[in-house]
């Protein structure tokens, strides 16, 4: 015990799915299949967009980086879940929890920015087609991707410090599937209003703002597509953009609902469900969404598998 009758917590108990003892084997198999699907599906996207000459365009350059990010993103969460289900050891050290918290949100912020970049790419391609090669040259594409990766670091360094510098007292039972902010704040002692306010500001900047920019891009895109003569041109443009829009709505929609809901309306079970959707389900469906709705990707995939 330290001064103020506050226990010095050295580790947390990451409850996860331990309250479902009869489903441990089933859940392990399910998450193993999901993680394998994420690795194989996104790995194939990376390979085909790298080796297929037809796919050497900015759109597929961003898609390749997005698929790599999805692998990193799920690898922060799923291996720990699988290890907990397999070994039944659900403790996580204070340092490991902080590291997972930091890595997860850096990846999440990077994904928000990269989705925004991909929307901008489609906006330029459809609304400014004559200037597209000039605007979206290779140097600009590399800078946009690098900026997406780097931008999340300062935001979350601050947030990680604000959360893990708090004193934790009483129970060390973290009722969630990973080290997330709301379960951590529930275990913190004293007034956490400043920390919560800082978190809301960061979510507005790195979550809601990218979402609004993406929606603005698609309003412009749809307006331009409707002016395109002929159904074939419209169909191709809608097909190219709809895949990205579905991913945005799945991922950012669940994330915004989870983190901007009032604390009073929060449910532990509902939070777990939303967390599973945007950390595991969305990444495994992304390759399917992009592949099935893109003839170039389907052709390249068939060509690779045939070889």
pLDDT tens digits, one per residue of 89-140: 888 888 888 899 999 888 888 988 998 998 899 899 888 888 898 999 999 9
pLDDT in tens, 212-237: 898 898 888 888 888 776 666 566 66
Sheet holding 91-93, edge to edge: 91-93, 11-14, 173-174
pLDDT at 81 over 80: yes
Residue 280 has φ and ψ, to the nearest 5°, of -125, -45
pTM for this model (two decimals): 0.85
pLDDT of residue 222: 85
- Residues β-bridged to residue 92: 12
pLDDT in tens, 50-75: 888 888 889 889 989 999 999 998 99
Largest CA distance in the chain: 74
Under a CB-based contact definition with an 8 Å cutoff, are residues 155 and 203 in contact?
Answer: no
Angle (CA) 37-100-107 rounded to 5° is 60
pLDDT of residue 3: 45
pLDDT of residue 6: 47
Domains of the chain: 11-306 (1.20.1070.10)
pLDDT of residue 174: 84
């Amino acid at each position: 015990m330290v001064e103020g009758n506050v226990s010095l917590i050295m580790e947390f108990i990451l409850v996860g799915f331990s309250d479902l003892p009869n489903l441990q084997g089933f859940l392990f198999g399910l998450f193993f299949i999901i993680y394998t699907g994420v690795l194989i599906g996104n790995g194939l996207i990376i390979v085909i967009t790298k080796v297929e000459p037809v796919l050497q365009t900015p759109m597929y350059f961003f898609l390749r980086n997005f698929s790599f990010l999805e692998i990193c993103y799920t690898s922060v969460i799923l291996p720990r879940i699988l290890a907990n289900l397999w070994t039944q050891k659900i403790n996580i050290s204070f340092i490991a929890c902080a590291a997972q918290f930091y890595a997860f949100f850096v990846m999440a912020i990077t994904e928000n920015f990269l989705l925004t970049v991909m929307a901008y790419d489609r906006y330029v391609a459809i609304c400014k087609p004559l200037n597209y090669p000039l605007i979206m040259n290779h140097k600009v594409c590399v800078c946009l991707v690098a900026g997406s990766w780097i931008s999340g670091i300062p935001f979350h360094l601050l947030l990680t410090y604000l959360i893990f510098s708090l004193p934790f007292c009483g129970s060390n039972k973290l009722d969630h599937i990973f080290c997330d902010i709301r379960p951590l704040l529930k275990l913190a002692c004293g007034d956490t209003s400043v920390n919560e306010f800082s978190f809301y500001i960061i979510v507005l900047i790195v979550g809601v703002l990218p979402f609004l920019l993406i929606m603005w891009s698609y309003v412009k895109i749809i307006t331009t597509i409707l002016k395109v003569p002929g159904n074939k041109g419209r169909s191709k443009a809608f097909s190219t953009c709809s895949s990205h829009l579905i991913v945005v709505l799945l991922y950012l929609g669940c994330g915004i609902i989870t983190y901007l809901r009032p604390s009073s309306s929060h449910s532990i079970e509902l939070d777990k469900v939303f967390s599973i959707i945007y950390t595991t389900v969305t990444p495994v469906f992304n390759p399917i969404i992009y592949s099935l709705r893109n003839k170039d990707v389907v052709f390249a995939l068939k060509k690779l598998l045939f070889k």
